[in-house]
Amino acid sequence: MAQLDEARTISDTVAAHVSDHNQLHTKANYVFDVKDYGAVGDGSTDDSTAIQSAMTAATGTVCYMPPGTYRANSLSLPANTELSAEGVTIERHATSSDAVVAAAGGSYIHGLTISGRNTTLTGASGESGLYVTGDATIVERVTSSLNYHHGIRMSGDDGWIDKCTSFSNGENGDTAGNGTGDGIYILNGDNVRITNCWTYLNDRTGIVATTFDGGGTDETLSTGLICSGCFSELNVYNDVNFEGVSFAQITDLRCPSDTGDLIFSTSDDMTISNYQGASLYAQNSDRVTVNGVEIRTTDTATAFFVAGLRPQIDNVRIVGSGAQTSNAFEVVDTTDYSGMVANISVDTCNNGVVLNGVSEVKNIHTDNVGNVNWRVGRAGGTGTTSIYLDNMVESKLTVYDDAAPSTGWWDRGDRAYDRSPTAGSTMGWVCTTAGSPGTWKTFGAITA
């Protein structure tokens, strides 16, 4: 919990950082205006040298760009320097292996629009729109598009990306999911906050946070990431993908397209709340907490999947189109059988629910579901009818069906209630000897 508390302090860190930059404004003897250094801003002249001269002169204070369209390449904003660029567009002037703008730690960039102009480049990883390195950098109200690689890339701790838009990034619009472009890409950053951002039509992923570099190196888990109030849609590969992060909070995330997805792997102590999309997939991720998810999907794949140690899943609704060939909802507790699943609704899906190794299950409802495969609190058990699971305590299972189970592993004390009881019959069946399917006896005589 200490690292989660640390993540929550990022807003205080950012507020102090903004205050520091405001003080820079008042301390500066004058504003370093790029036009004082020869920048034209007519949308055709190469202003790279002039803008860079102004940025270098403004080190530790403020570099000001008057509104207009500038052509430039390979700009470098020094550490602890503000780039004030309201109403400014910087277009990549020509082929270059560097980012359009690179910013060092402690910098503050706001109001800027960057266009890579979909220039055919060499494939170097630096070919992003905005490339931030170093700690405690703020990127606010920046739009970045048509870059060969990422729209906005950040490597460093305690950063904040707020109210930014990043779209149509990647290698000339690749549509096969093998592209080079992500909207927002976070690499090896602790306590990074992404808020109120919109990413779309990138040829790989909308928002990425990872500790795995291009060479596949497994770094130490990044901690304390916060993603809140973001939209990500119509990206070719994934909409949101976290890999190798921990103690992250994801709130108020929308991935509204038919293929909108939230994916994370090797990411522990994640908290997801108020997410809407077409799927959620978590693999090899321990202590995942989910509360408040709505999934609407027309896809054939699993809509909701979490596998790891001690998952805590509550309040999930899945509405499908009947197209699923995989299970609509699947939760697997991989180690100590202490996971919890509650208040789940699955509607209009071809396949329904799988629960494996989960110790507490309550209030799971399926409607208009074809086949339902399920495993609850133990390693075995399969069925072929739509089931309602409720109030399973200490691995005792209650199901509703038309007959006593004939397949799967069952424990003594498990019950199957008759879904269509009649006068003179019984309420259902109870397992008296554990096994596959075990021994079942009727119980609960009903008056004729």
Could you give the domains of the chain?
Answer: 1-252 (2.160.20.10), 278-395 (no CATH), 399-448 (no CATH)
Question: Please, are residues 198 and 221 in contact by the beta-carbon 8 Å criterion?
Answer: no
Question: Please, are residues 315 and 334 in contact by the beta-carbon 8 Å criterion?
Answer: no
pLDDT of 384: 30
**Cα gap 274→252, rounded to integer Å:** 5
Give per-10-residue mean pLDDT for the chain (448 aa).
Answer: 40 53 51 96 96 97 97 95 97 84 97 82 66 96 93 94 95 54 92 96 92 53 89 93 91 90 91 95 93 89 90 93 78 76 85 76 75 47 35 52 80 83 93 90 93
- Residue 422's CB: how many other CB atoms inside 10 A? 9
pLDDT of 85: 97
Question: Please, are residues 384 and 371 in contact by the beta-carbon 8 Å criterion?
Answer: yes
Against a cut of 0.85, is the pTM above it? no
**Listed residue (169, 176, 171, 173) closest to 184, CA to CA:** 169
